[in-house]
Chains A and B, each alone.
Chain A
Amino acid sequence: MAVKYRSVKAILGYIEEKPQVWKVQKLTFPVIKENALVEYIANSAHIPKSTVKGCVLAISEAIAYFVINGHCVTFDSFGSFYLKVQTKVAQTLEECDANVIENTTLGFRANTKLAELANKTKVERAASLNLD
């Protein structure tokens, strides 16, 4: 199944002439919610749904726990989870301490295999909507 896209009009407000351009916008199919994902995994791995949910929550908790404690968590078949840090710059070395940290969150980076798979995803233009 291909990922659908459409072309939308946009105005580049940061340029003085404010030119009108066209952009490619991805259309998302229905979101796979938590329960649907758990059911899918239960069917494919032949594990009871309750066990799957417990396992997934335990894996998520383990990832968060290791990342908070300064580690990077790598799954060979998927990617890496790490701590993403956003900081301000400091003028002097003395000012460069924990106070320059603006935001921290959990980041993810796909491994080479997944990144290649994502890059090879087929795309096709969605049928245009008649808004008349």
Chain B
Amino acid sequence: MNTSISPIKGATLMYPKKVTLNFMEDKPEVYRLCYLRGSVIHDKEVIYYAAKAAHVPESTIKLAEEALFDAISYFCTNGHAVQVPGLGSFGIQFNTNVAETEEEATEECINRKYIRFWPKHDIRDLCSQKNLNVEVKDLLKLKQANNTPSDDDSGDNTPDTPDTPTP
């Protein structure tokens, strides 16, 4: 676990992608800005950061986190909506088809049930564009930058390993 997790100030990386609008008759080609997801932060890192911020032991945060998510799962799957302090609301939603008569409008019309999330106003304001450091980059250049060998490379991916099958 990376415990040197001092606030990671990062940019929201986005890249332009060419798409074809097939639903239009002339199928025009346009550019859409896509979001490049940064590194994935797992439970342990969130617990570490939250423990530092709240001045409580990590074990307490972990207990609270497990109990929180169990509670949300339990209440949502029993039809309740749940309001989480500082985050937003969770609730179960249906994806349904329509029926021609009332008798046909039964649970067979339900295609899918899923948990939906509505962020709180504060979080929405926080995630709004004015608070983001958006950088638009070319995806090819980003990939090339990621593949550039650094001094820390241990050479595990060299082709002459014993397990490599000979042609």
Q: Are B65 and A75 in contact (CB under 8 A)?
A: yes
Complex formed: what's the CA distance from A78 to B67 in Å?
A: 11
Q: Is the interface of A mostly helix, strand, loop or mixed?
A: mixed
Q: Are A57 and B86 in contact (CB under 8 A)?
A: yes
CB distance from A14 to the nearest CB of B (A): 12
Q: Are A2 and B79 in contact (CB under 8 A)?
A: yes
CB distance from B30 to the nearest CB of A (A): 4
Q: What residue in chain B is nearest A9 (Cβ atoms)? A: B102
Interface residues on B, range: 35 or more
How many of chain A's residues have a CB under 8 angstroms from any CB in B? 89
Contact with A along B51-78 (1 / 0, CB 8 A): 1011010001101111111111101111
Complex formed: what's the CA distance from A26 to B93 in Å?
A: 7
Q: Are B119 and A72 in contact (CB under 8 A)?
A: no
Q: Is A131 an interface residue when CB atoms closer than 8 A count as contact? A: no
Complex formed: what's the CA distance from A122 to B78 in Å?
A: 8
21 contacts between A and B (CB under 8 A): A22-B105, A23-B99, A28-B91, A31-B82, A32-B80, A47-B63, A53-B85, A55-B64, A56-B86, A57-B54, A59-B64, A60-B87, A70-B13, A72-B37, A72-B38, A72-B41, A73-B46, A90-B33, A96-B31, A104-B127, A105-B123
- 7 new A-B contacts, CB < 8 A, other than A96-B32, A98-B129, are A44-B67, A73-B46, A75-B42, A77-B66, A87-B32, A89-B30, A123-B110
